[in-house]
Structure 1
Amino acid sequence: MKGKKHFTFLLSAITTLALLVSIVLPASTYAEENSDSFKLTIMHMNDTHAHADLLPNMMTAIKEVRTEDPEALLFNAGDVFSGTLYFNEYHGKADLALLNMMDLDAMVFGNHEFDLGSSENGHKSLSEFVSAAKFPLLGTNVDFSSDAFMNKLVKNEFTDSPEDGKVFDGMVKEVNGEKIGIFGLTTEDTANISSPVNVKFLNYIKEAERAVQAFEEMGINKIVAVTHLGYDSNPDFGNDLQLATYVDGIDVVVGGHSHTQLSEPVVVNKDEKGTEKEPTVVVQAYQYSQLLGKLQVEFDGNGVVIGQAGQLIDVASKEEDSEAAAILAPYKEKITELSTQESGAIAKKTLANPRLTDSDVSVRANETELGNLVTDAMLAKAKERYPETVIAFQNGGGIRAAIEEGPITIGEIISVLPFGNDPVVVELSGEEIKQILEHSVSQAPAESGGFLHVAGMKFTYDSTKESGSRVISMYVKVNGEYQEIQANQKYLVTTNNFTAKGGDGFDVFAKAYQEGRVQDIGEIDWEQLRKYMVEDLGGVADPVLEGRITDLLGTDPETPGDEEEEVTPEEPEVENPETGGNEDDSSDTDNPTDATGSETDDDNTDIGDNAGIENDTELEQDVNDNQGSKETVSNSSEGNALPNTATSMYTMLLVGGILLVAGIGFLVFRMMKYSKA
């Protein structure tokens, strides 16, 4: 009897140990072999915005993926146009020379593809781009019928034999014997933020449903939407999450427009009512030719997604493709020459961009003349489209270089604002503006990339007070006079899309973005600055310090007068000049982080540390447990390290497991010894 008890006890101990091991050790996510399943690889890029210099590196990355999977598809999710001198000079032709080498399967129109409509009285440059493309374009919800240049290139049909240089409602690609339906959607907001002229944009939900129905009638049950809607953009105009939620039958959404860095695919498996639905996988690959997305998705015999894995490949880490580099070379040579051309404006004096490493003031801690010039340009140009705009904000971390006295070159302007950010307008309450300013000066007198330069307003704060309770007064300029900002009143402000999405930790902006209170203006920030200096300032830039931002340092505030005066604000004493002054400081905002779409230094190629880039991943089989979260990929041993919290938990569980085993062994030993006694 005792032996039986000992055996039962040992069996129980072994069972407990096995359960513990199953909890502690990560489960494999390898998809089991299934003869009925089908695996598809999709490469994707978006919002390259004429950043052609990295396209030869992109070519190398594409070739590497095709070496692994020759049948991999490649999509471009729009906004090839606008952003750098390549576009200003070549209107997309330089980019197209490289895109044609890449053997794209399809491209969707972005809103910036329509930027030249007004100046050309139609889309002549766009039609030249499309007709020369060695790939088809998708315009499921775009009506080109009234545009004289584009209408002859459009075929309103869903076809299984798409032609290069033509626009289709949808197309079918056959991959390893399986047919894939592909259609494309462009944001309806294009009518507001670009110059489509006679081009119309139809309801994206209705057109998506039409596309799905057309493919299903063709017997196709694997459907991909290539979109330029934005991952989580203004819901008034629609976004990828809404598309995946409201339209049944879409298996994959390859997105653009919001410049979102989805380091891992997002799986949406509930509809608008919260009811379980077949999974839709959503991906997006940031911006400016920096990342190539790679998605592997697995379907069952009925065309339902049963597994997926995704990664972002750091393009700058790749060598240039020699053939692609040679094709780009003549374009690049011309652009180098153009960067030294004069913009039409002159600087009356050197406009410094100081840091605490070599100055008593900093662009990231104090009002500067250059910061005032940049925000004045933002406010003036925003008012042209949205006259009710009263305030401009520019994060100091986004101002990157000085302007020397004398003629200002195009290259200098781009160096000041190198990120090519889209300006936006945001509706905020006075109380929200106060919270934003509190965050702006929370690190003062130390540097912070989130320190905001302002136009259209003045405010005072006291850096001797506790962070979060520093802002003393806020005034907005209305009809030439300063009025105190009221907590409950609404104000329209302009900033860049990085800040508007919550970059630099601006939670108030992030909340406004999520609530649909952010509207893209349809400009590029450095072009705003150039136009402002030439058109509004008559070609003469001579900004001054105006006391827009004043640190009281424990003194009493003064009510601002109606007239602006040039002042020399008292400089803050900085006990530790090194604080925040290092270009590589972890608090800097130059590196991409996550789906908020941080700014990125063009020269920084080490962007893979936080992005889940180039991880070897396996298809995650149980997508229905995902609930639409971003945590949809399980990395292999070559992927990212676990976060500290996960590593600590793993260690504690492992130690606990060892102690438990030791305890069980000790009890067994004692019981056996007792039984013998």
Structure 2
Amino acid sequence: MAGGSNTRLLDETDRLRAGDTKQGEYPIFKKSASGEDVAIINTDGNYKYVGRLIVDFDAQGRIIPESINPNVSGAYATDEQGVKDLNAENLVDPEIKAITDALQEVIKKQDGNVLGITDVFLNGTRSDVRTQETNLGNLTADANLNYVKGLDSTVAVSIKNGGGIRNNIGRIFTPPGATESQKLPPEGNDLSGKPDGGISQPDAQNALSFNNALSLVTLTATQLKAILEHGVAKVAPGATPGQFPQIGGISFSFDATQPAGERIQSAAILNDDGSVKEALVRNGEVVG
């Protein structure tokens, strides 16, 4: 059984949910290292389908491919039509249905609250946001800076712990038979009215699930350098320190081969267009 790719495998008798496309045959047959048949099965995620495989084995425990009946095995859509096909309409527990219907309405309302649109995958992967600049790190730090500037126009810098970013905004898709994954923008949701590329309230909540508060502080250039030094102090091969800074309104460079506390090589306050407004650190020394 494969997992993680959400690849929709179906046979010739299986029915797709509205809007879905078939991505491979159920099951996919491959050969093992010893030349024996291997049946690979997979369905879409989030319980959109239920997979069923009934197969016989020979006396040596090897799969008999001809024993798989497509009228029995395959992927079953879990929509209303799928329930009707199984004559299971009257098997629904009314109390459970009332709970799930109420939850679905809440989820639909939240997922229909679209905060913005992106045409790229927004990278919140742990190994990235805790070690380097990412587009989601930039977006969230810039959003924090923009919000606080509305309260105090003199605020110049935003620093966000990479460890506060908990998920991507987008989807990772591996086509059937492929070895490389594609990183894509968020998928739309017809039920909630969320368009393709839409960043919904749950997307933001999943990515920023700690809902970290903002603190407004006044710092000298020396103090700001010390905070940046703390942010990169634990950078090391294989490490993913949560204190790694995602930033807005400032740029900096560091040398991870230097001792902690002596790694920041340059830093500068930036204008809105990204140009340098004020240098803070040059060659590891505070100048601002």
Structure 1 length as normaliser, TM-score?
Answer: 0.22
1:337 alignment partner AA: K
More helix by share: 1
8 Å contact 2:249–2:272 — kept in the other structure?
A: no
Query: Is 2:267 the partner of 1:474?
Result: yes
Amino-acid identity (%): 28
8 Å contact 1:395–1:452 — kept in the other structure?
A: yes
Specify which of 360, 373, 378 is matched with residue 144 of structure 2: 378
Query: How far off is 1:411 after superposition?
Result: 1.0
2:107 alignment partner AA: T
Partner of 2:213: 422
1:23-422 to structure 2, matched below 5 A, reads 332-356=103-127, 362-404=128-170, 405=185, 406-422=197-213
Partner of 1:450: 243
Query: How far off is 1:486 after superposition?
Result: 7.3
Q: Tell me, what secondary structure is at the counterpart of 1:427?
A: coil
Query: Structure 1 residues 331, 430: closer, same or farther in 2, change over 3 A?
Result: farther
Higher Cα radius of gyration: 1
Query: Structure 1 residues 433, 330: closer, same or farther in 2, change over 3 A?
Result: same
Query: Structure 1 residues 486, 355: closer, same or farther in 2, change over 3 A?
Result: closer
Q: Tell me, what secondary structure is at the counterpart of 2:217?
A: strand
Query: How far off is 1:400 after superposition?
Result: 0.8
Q: Tell me, what secondary structure is at the counterpart of 1:423?
A: coil
Query: Structure 1 residues 328, 479: closer, same or farther in 2, change over 3 A?
Result: same
Query: How far off is 1:478 after superposition?
Result: 4.2
Query: Structure 1 residues 328, 391: closer, same or farther in 2, change over 3 A?
Result: farther
2:279 alignment partner AA: E
8 Å contact 1:342–1:407 — kept in the other structure?
A: no
Q: How big is the alpha-carbon RMSD for the aligned residues of Structure 1 and Structure 2? A: 2.8
Q: Tell me, what secondary structure is at the counterpart of 1:385?
A: coil
Structure 2 CA distance, aligned partners of 1:331 and 1:431? Answer: 53
8 Å contact 2:126–2:167 — kept in the other structure?
A: no
Q: Render the CA deviation track for 1:90-123: whole Å, top value 9, x for unaligned.
A: xxxxxxxxxxxxxxxxxxxxxxxxxxxxxxxxxx
User: 5+ residue gaps in structure 2?
Assistant: 1-95, 171-184, 186-196
Query: How far off is 1:465 after superposition?
Result: 0.5
Q: Render the CA deviation track for 1:128-184: whole Å, top value 9, x for unaligned.
A: xxxxxxxxxxxxxxxxxxxxxxxxxxxxxxxxxxxxxxxxxxxxxxxxxxxxxxxxx
Q: Tell me, what secondary structure is at the counterpart of 2:203?
A: helix
Structure 1 CA distance, aligned partners of 2:168 and 2:271? Answer: 31
8 Å contact 1:347–1:403 — kept in the other structure?
A: no
Query: Structure 1 residues 467, 407: closer, same or farther in 2, change over 3 A?
Result: same
8 Å contact 2:123–2:168 — kept in the other structure?
A: yes
Query: Structure 1 residues 422, 338: closer, same or farther in 2, change over 3 A?
Result: same
8 Å contact 2:265–2:281 — kept in the other structure?
A: no
Query: How far off is 1:424 after superposition?
Result: 2.5
Structure 2 CA distance, aligned partners of 1:435 and 1:451? Answer: 13
Partner of 1:432: 223
Structure 2 CA distance, aligned partners of 1:342 and 1:349? Answer: 19
8 Å contact 2:164–2:212 — kept in the other structure?
A: no
Structure 1 CA distance, aligned partners of 2:102 and 2:221? Answer: 48
Q: Tell me, what secondary structure is at the counterpart of 2:150?
A: helix
Structure 1 CA distance, aligned partners of 2:219 and 2:97? Answer: 49
Structure 2 CA distance, aligned partners of 1:411 and 1:478? Answer: 32
1:402 alignment partner AA: N
Query: How far off is 1:434 after superposition?
Result: 0.8
Query: How far off is 1:326 after superposition?
Result: 11
Structure 2 CA distance, aligned partners of 1:460 and 1:350? Answer: 25
Structure 2 length as normaliser, TM-score?
Answer: 0.50
Q: Tell me, what secondary structure is at the counterpart of 2:215?
A: strand
1:458 alignment partner AA: S
Specify which of 481, 484, 493 is matched with residue 279 of structure 2: 484
Specify which of 249, 252, 255 is matched with residue 462 of structure 1: 255
8 Å contact 1:338–1:410 — kept in the other structure?
A: no
Q: Tell me, what secondary structure is at the counterpart of 2:109?
A: helix
Structure 2 CA distance, aligned partners of 1:329 and 1:459? Answer: 49
1:401 alignment partner AA: N
Query: How far off is 1:339 after superposition?
Result: 3.3
Query: How far off is 1:459 after superposition?
Result: 0.6
Q: Render the CA deviation track for 1:585-630: whole Å, top value 9, x for unaligned.
A: xxxxxxxxxxxxxxxxxxxxxxxxxxxxxxxxxxxxxxxxxxxxxx
